[in-house]
């Protein structure tokens, strides 16, 4: 007789890690970051026909402080890059990023000086979604793949990644720190 059969009805055995993973993946709130044509398909993903609130994404957050998923939909211009990074830094942790469409994933057809050749130059990306543009069903599939990733991520991994990100940001700012102090 297995252990499960000895348990009273209604009792389940699991781990804290599994419960936290389930809670996190069931309550992902996106900070939508529509930058170009892909944004139209992203908006359609929240409409009544596709309805991403079926998976706990009850609302797209207008504020990064109440969001933990950034969906980058469209090409990222060089001018927008620091803004995108600032919004990412303001989001609650742990947080995730989906690069929606070939432009966000790799620059796509815009191989020129004005466009960042993949948003992963600015923020860490968890799921790359191909297509030009990807349909809402494809975005839903990417979200469900992200759910699997969230469920199976060990506790502490996000914190480690965050510390590495902070260190990278600190290194990027080193030239600024080397500036001579202004004495008044």
Q: Is 101 in the site for ligand SF4 (CB under 6 A)?
A: yes
87 is an annotated ligand-binding site residue: no
User: Distance between CA 133 and CA 131 in Å, rounded?
Assistant: 5
Q: What DSSP character marks residue 136?
A: H
Q: Is 163 in the site for ligand SF4 (CB under 6 A)?
A: no
Closest CA to 146 of 65, 50, 68, 59: 68
Length of the chain: 184
Q: Which is nearer to ligand SF4, 21 or 108 (CB)?
A: 108
User: Distance between CA 53 and CA 113 in Å, rounded?
Assistant: 38
Q: Which is nearer to ligand SF4, 75 or 95 (CB)?
A: 75
Q: Dump the DSSP string for 163-184.
A: HHHHHHHHHHTHHHHTSPPPP-
- The sign of the CA dihedral 6, 7, 10, 16 is negative
User: Distance between CA 102 and CA 110 in Å, rounded?
Assistant: 10
Closest approach of Cβ 37 to ligand SF4, in Å? 3
Closest approach of Cβ 108 to ligand SF4, in Å? 5
Residues 32-61 interacting with ligand SF4 (rule: CB under 6 A): 36-38
Closest approach of Cβ 83 to ligand SF4, in Å? 17
Closest approach of Cβ 4 to ligand SF4, in Å? 48
Residue 69's Cβ-count burial label (10 Å; 0-12, 13-18, 19+) is buried
Stretch that binds ligand SF4, among 7-15, 87-95, 99-107, 154-162 (CB under 6 A): 99-107
Rounded (10°) angle between helices 38-45 and 136-151: 70
Stretch that binds ligand SF4, among 51-59, 82-90, 98-106, 146-154 (CB under 6 A): 98-106
x/- track of binding to ligand SF4 for residues 116-155 (CB under 6 A): ----------------xx----------------------
Binding site for ligand SF4 (CB under 6 A): 36-38, 74-75, 101-103, 108, 132-133
Binding site members for [4Fe-4S] cluster: 37-38, 103, 132
């Amino acid at each position: 007789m297995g252990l499960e059969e000895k348990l009273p009805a209604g009792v389940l055995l699991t781990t804290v890690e599994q419960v936290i993973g389930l809670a996190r993946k069931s309550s992902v709130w996106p900070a939508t970051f529509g930058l170009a044509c892909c944004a139209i398909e992203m908006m359609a993903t929240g409409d009544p026909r596709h309805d991403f609130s079926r998976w706990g994404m009850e609302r797209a957050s207008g504020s990064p402080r109440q969001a933990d998923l950034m969906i980058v939909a469209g090409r990222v211009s060089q001018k927008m890059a620091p803004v995108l990074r600032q919004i990412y830094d303001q989001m609650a942790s742990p947080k995730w990023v989906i690069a929606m469409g070939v432009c966000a994933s790799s620059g796509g057809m815009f191989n020129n000086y004005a466009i960042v050749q993949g948003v992963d130059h600015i923020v860490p990306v968890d799921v790359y979604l191909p297509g030009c543009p990807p349909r809402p069903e494809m975005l839903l599939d990417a979200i469900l793949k992200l759910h699997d990733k969230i469920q199976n991520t060990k506790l502490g991994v996000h914190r480690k990644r965050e510390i590495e990100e902070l260190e990278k940001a600190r290194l990027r700012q080193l030239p600024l720190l080397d500036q001579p102090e202004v004495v008044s």
